Amino acid sequence: MFSKVLIANRGEIALRILRACKELGLKTVIVYSEADKNSLPVLLADEKVCIGPPKASDSYLNVASIISAAEITRADAVHPGYGFLAENPRFAEICENHGIKFIGPPAEIIRLMGDKQKARQTMKNAKLPIIPGSNEVVNSLREAKKIISSIGYPVMLKAVAGGGGKGMRIVHSSSQLEEAFQIAQAEAEASFGNPSLYIEKYLEDARHIEVQVIGDSTGKVVALAERECSVQRKHQKIIEETPSPAVNEKLRKKLLKDVEQAASAIGYQSLGTFEFLMDKDGNYYFMEANTRVQVEHPITEMIYDIDLVKEQIKIAGGEKISFDKNLEKRGHSIECRINAEDPENFTPSPGKIEFSALPGGPGIRIDTAIYSGYEIPPFYDSLIAKIIVHASNREEAINKMKVALETTTIVGIKTNIPLHLNILANSSFKKGDYNIRFMENFLKK
């Protein structure tokens, strides 16, 4: 096992990882940009190293600076969190080449899953149903037309290197195709430095269902109950819950078995999430796999009473998964992503938090790095806190979340708390009767 972990991230996830390391008796090093010098993870880590100016490309994405920081502080492991370098196979390799343990899957798995077209093909070979679409990268309009002639409109053009909801275009008819194809290619090039696209049938009324996977170096793989993440805006999740209101025990058993078998087939190690779209009849189709800790991991931790981040760190250190496949889940958990943004028009609202008072009590968990007086920098993601609740059933969980949100006070910036309260009060949401187009319809009203 390593002894000192460098945390190559910021905000709530850096703090989440820092606490896990401390509980495991590991020393911590935090790297940070000039914009984050007063952040909680920087104040609480054993050692800190400034790695550059605010812009992520000059700091949190600067591999050379991060590796130097690890060498100077003699850190023998790196935890990348989510975002930034978490799914960069080159970074994982460079860490390993420098004798620093990368806390995540082996680089070749990250590389394989990072190419979404290859991931589709691999999962198809591993017997997972995939969304109908292209079998290879689609390089020209002519190829695109050929594929669409077999699957029909509507379709989705997606970036092979995609992530964060970027580089995706819905196309409803042939008249829109040419323009959409060009825009999607340009967007993919600009966001990921790779214009390659692939095509999927656009599943309009589907739900986003995902499965948490954990694998260790002995080949043991465990899949945990699904998370429902269909409350999304612009393909970005806003609320997640587990279990899904649309998955019964029989379907869950089949889904988890399929995922376990597919993850085993590729020798999956560390934490990962297999994402699916599921139709009204409970048919699910593999969409992509994320090879990192996920923002919404806490809801799984709540229903199983486990610590996935500690588990991930221990597995990287060569230990086995500490629980069994028959681990029992309990009750219902929901997460609301609190963003520093105007709930009316979704524009970011960075700035100083003059005062904050966060909720608490039984079954309430807050993952955040904010405090009264903290200044939210304008350079990064707008996620500032995750409110997570756990109760014996869905109805109680919704009610608990409502009270938690109502008793949250954040002064100085705008947040999306009013939006969350409106969603929780929506009758379709309350019934569990919603899909990935929920927000689109909700915002129209």
Q: Which residues are catalytic?
A: 292
Per-position x/- string for 108-137, each x denoting binding to ligand ADP as judged by CB under 6 A, each - no binding: -----------------------x------
Q: How far apart are CA 427 and CA 441, in angstroms?
A: 13
HSE at residue 322, side-chain half, CA atoms within 13 A, is 12
Selection from 299, 141, 311 nearest residue 222 by Cα: 311
Q: Judged by CB under 6 A, does residue 353 bind ligand ADP?
A: no
Q: Does position 88 bind ligand ADP by CB under 6 A?
A: no
Q: Does 418 sit near ligand ADP (CB under 6 A)? A: no
**Integer Cα distance of 75 and 47 in angstroms:** 10
Of 85-93, 137-145, 201-209, 260-268, which segment contacts ligand ADP by CB under 6 A? 201-209
To the nearest whole angstrom, how small is the minimum distance from the Cβ of residue 235 to ligand ADP? 4
> DSSP readout, 24-86?
TT-EEEEEEEGGGTTSHHHHHSSEEEEEE-SSGGGTTT-HHHHHHHHHHHT--EEE--SSTTT
Among 27, 208, 297, 337, binds ligand ADP (CB under 6 A): 208
For the sheet with 155-159, list strands across it.
169-171, 155-159, 197-201
Number of residues that bind ligand ADP (CB under 6 A): 19
User: Of the candidates 83, 436, 438, 439, which one interacts with ligand ADP according to CB under 6 A?
Assistant: 436
Indicate which single residue of 129, 164, 361, 373 sits in contact with ligand ADP (rule: CB under 6 A).
164
| Cα 327 from Cα 304, distance rounded (Å) | 7
Near ligand ADP by CB under 6 A: residue from 18, 31, 123, 156: 156
Q: Is residue 162 within the footprint of ligand ADP (CB under 6 A)?
A: yes
Q: What are phi and psi of 437, to 5 degrees?
A: -95, 10
Touching ligand ADP, residues 229-258 (CB under 6 A): 232, 235
Nearer to ligand ADP, 20 or 277 (CB): 277
The residue among 433, 244, 243 whose CA lies nearest residue 331 is: 243
Cβ proximity of 109 and 268 under 8 Å: yes
Query: Quick check: 288 binds ligand ADP (CB under 6 A)?
Result: yes
By C-beta, is 154 or 412 nearer to ligand ADP?
A: 154
Number of H helices, E strands in the chain: 15, 20
The residue within the footprint of ligand ADP, chosen from 129, 152, 165, 360 (CB under 6 A), is 165
Selected range binding ligand ADP among 37-45, 52-60, 119-127, 163-171, rule: CB under 6 A:
163-171
Amino acid at 339: N
Please state the closest distance from residue 373 (CB atom) to ligand ADP, in A: 34
Query: Which residues are CB-neighbours of 19 under 8 A, at least 6 positions away?
Result: none
Applying CB under 6 A, the residues found at the interface with ligand ADP are 131, 156, 162-166, 200, 202-203, 206, 208, 232, 235, 275, 277, 287-288, 436
